[in-house]
Structure 1
């Protein structure tokens, strides 16, 4: 086991870019401070994969869905989030960036897991609104699986619906269909 030397100051984007990969942990930076949590359990990962696939298949060709992609909220102090799913323009995605800029992100989905509930419902809720991400959806896998959809209106998120079971929504002019009950099943 090797020991990583951390800077004795708030992290910068260069520090972040130089950090080693940590597949056994989920790592983000909040106001220059490293935040480490365990990787999510299998149902969480399955749900993220399904949501990413469903969104990528159903959104307009001008959009692209990504799972667990880095997103820069602010550069100074550095805040980098790794949302479960984000949707950006296909043009930006096709540039193959190391991380997305929050200004390019149209939708973020967070799937609640043990240890992230308050962060997803409070901290990220306000961070994403502050940087102008238009859509924020929160998925809860507790039975019955549910999703709350928020949309940014005058700088604040408003609840645009609470859903269970089969869901039909409109996102950016594209009709979307999800089966929330199939998010964690072995075969949807």
Structure 2
């Protein structure tokens, strides 16, 4: 199977003629790679996120980056935060996701190092209409099996981020355990957490 020349393949071919390999995926133009995920070698077309979804992802990334810079200033290893980043969970059969936000150890890009599960400390998925099952079931299992220590499921209301469900990996079972849910309307000050890095969730930073 050759690299896909354009996104018409994604829309017209039924069924997919063969599984996409890691080598073939890496040959795809960036504009096509950004529009798909690969699950067990099969292409999953990702609809363009809404403006609110994009804004929420950017706000979350900014918050995480601010706290990452703070811990790095205290001697923590180099950390990076990105939106919609290519994350390789498995090579065979290919499993490649693009989480809405990821916090991960810095990569050696000069050596062509790609973001893999072992680099990631936290991945965040923002639930959209149509993504409930993927975000709360499919990706929950995939990220856990890949060994990513922390997973957040984020929900929005009309003003911004309203709920953050937090999961931590239980390495004995390689499953996520729910460790808490932050809700914007709960009384009290901004909640704080210690892992994966110390941070305070300031809801005012997460408004549209």
The TM-score with structure 1 as length reference comes to 0.85
Partner of 2:181: 162
Give the distance between the partners of 2:7 and 2:179, measured in 1 at CA.
46
Give the distance between the partners of 2:120 and 2:180, measured in 1 at CA.
21
Unaligned runs of 5+ in 1: none
Contact 1:129 1:152 in 2 (8 A): yes
Alignment of 1:78-97 (within 5 A): 78-90=94-106, 92=107
Deviation at 1:8, TM superposition (A): 2.9
Q: Are residues 1:69 and 2:69 paired?
A: no
Give the distance between the partners of 1:141 and 1:96, measured in 2 at CA.
38
Deviation at 1:180, TM superposition (A): 3.6
Q: Are residues 1:29 and 2:44 paired?
A: no
Judged with a 3 Å threshold, the aligned counterparts in structure 2 of structure 1 residues 49 and 128 are, in CA distance, closer, same or farther, namely same
Deviation at 1:11, TM superposition (A): 0.1
Q: Are residues 1:145 and 2:162 paired?
A: yes
Structure showing the higher strand proportion among its residues: 1
Judged with a 3 Å threshold, the aligned counterparts in structure 2 of structure 1 residues 115 and 97 are, in CA distance, closer, same or farther, namely farther
Say which is worse superposed, 32-41 or 5-14, in terms of deviation.
5-14
3-state SS in 1 of match to 2:201:
strand
Deviation at 1:16, TM superposition (A): 1.0
Query: Given the alignment, which residue of 106, 121, 135 partners 2:121?
Result: 106
Give the distance between the partners of 1:41 and 1:82, measured in 2 at CA.
16
Residues matched between the structures, number: 182
Partner of 1:171: 195
Judged with a 3 Å threshold, the aligned counterparts in structure 2 of structure 1 residues 56 and 28 are, in CA distance, closer, same or farther, namely same
The CA RMSD measured in Å over matched residues stands at 2.5
The TM-score with structure 2 as length reference comes to 0.78
Q: Are residues 1:117 and 2:132 paired?
A: yes
3-state SS in 1 of match to 2:135:
helix
Deviation at 1:79, TM superposition (A): 0.7
Unaligned runs of 5+ in 2: 1-5, 11-15, 185-189
Structure showing the higher helix proportion among its residues: 2
